[in-house]
Amino acid sequence: MMSKQVRAVVISGNGTNCEREVANACRVAGAEVVDIVHVAELISGRARLDDYHFLNLAGGFLDGDDLGSAKAGANRLTHAAVKGSEETLSDQLQRFIADGKLVMGVCNGFQLMTKMGLLPAIGGDYQRQSATLTFNDGGRFEDRWCYLKVDQESPCVFTRGLDGVYLPVRHGEGKFVVENDELLQQIEEKHLSVVKYCDADYQAPVMEYPLNPNGSVAAIAGVCDESGRLFGLMPHPEAYIHRTHHPRWTREPELPEEGMGLWLYINAVKYIRENLL
């Protein structure tokens, strides 16, 4: 049985490069235990997802994106057997979700979640892929800051109380697409399209470049499942934890000390304290 502490795990290895930033965000948000765990430690059985409340899938370039963004990583987590056990990593992950815990994937982690079927997971089916992230419409890597409109009717745990956030993107395959129009309609009707690229006033979603840096369908920058506990987004909340991370911090002295990205992690920690401890 776990102690009365918020325990977060950040998965590393095979091309991730943002695990330290994500771990720092979890610590600053108030998690007492934050471990960076290489995926090989999970496969070997030296670490288990059961020991944590909050699973973080960090950004990076899993397997060099040689088989498409995060596809090889998705296959690994879906099929890898845990040494000394009869279960797979997928078994641990499905149990983690069934136990009411939180999962957030950022950038490459969002790609990973969609290709494993964890998002949008309509009807609670966490094993069938129905969406993906593909090449930006511009055909090149995008590194810029974006305005995001938050759907306040969304069930998403991580964005509660938020109306809009300003976060950086850095990706070459960030265009969110779904398998058909019916699925897109369900995502919209259930308010699972948590954040959308928008204008500087945090109002209307936009399809125009560069406000929408990749051409995502319906301007979608991030989605959650119907429980609101699984959330993936292309922009990087862990990259805006303190005011000095803002690109204009020296010219905007009125910026608060807490960066907008930190709010997502604070909401996660608060949820865990109120519901899982």
**What local confidence, expressed as pLDDT, does residue 70 receive?**
80
Burial of residue 14, with CB atoms counted within 10 A of its CB: 0-12 exposed, 13-18 middle, 19 or more buried: middle
* Catalytic annotation present for 87: no
* Catalytic annotation present for 246: no
Task: Give me the domains of the chain, ranges plus CATH numbers.
Answer: 7-275 (3.40.50.880)
CB contact burial 70-83 (16+ within 10 A = b; e otherwise): bbbbbebbbeeebe
Least Cα distance to 73 among 24, 17, 112, 121 occurs for 112
CB contact burial 208-217 (16+ within 10 A = b; e otherwise): eeebbbbbbe
Pick the catalytic residue from 21, 142, 156, 236.
Answer: 236
**What local confidence, expressed as pLDDT, does residue 2 receive?**
62
pTM given for the model: 0.96
**What local confidence, expressed as pLDDT, does residue 71 receive?**
81
> Would you say 135 and 142 are in contact if contact means Cβ atoms under 8 Å apart?
no
Pick the catalytic residue from 107, 146, 156, 198.
Answer: 107
* Catalytic annotation present for 236: yes
Pick the catalytic residue from 142, 171, 238, 245.
Answer: 238
**What local confidence, expressed as pLDDT, does residue 1 receive?**
52
Place of tokens 């102690």: 3
How far apart are alpha carbons 16 and 94 in whole angstroms?
Answer: 22
User: Along the 277 residues of the chain, how does pLDDT read in single tens digits?
Assistant: 566 899 999 999 988 999 999 999 999 999 999 999 999 999 999 999 999 999 999 998 887 777 677 888 888 888 889 999 889 999 999 999 999 999 999 999 999 999 999 999 999 999 999 999 999 999 999 999 999 999 999 999 999 999 999 999 999 999 999 999 999 999 999 999 999 999 999 998 999 999 999 999 999 999 999 999 999 999 999 999 999 999 999 999 999 999 999 999 999 999 999 999 9
Least Cα distance to 42 among 13, 21, 69, 68 occurs for 13
**What local confidence, expressed as pLDDT, does residue 64 receive?**
79
**What local confidence, expressed as pLDDT, does residue 266 receive?**
98
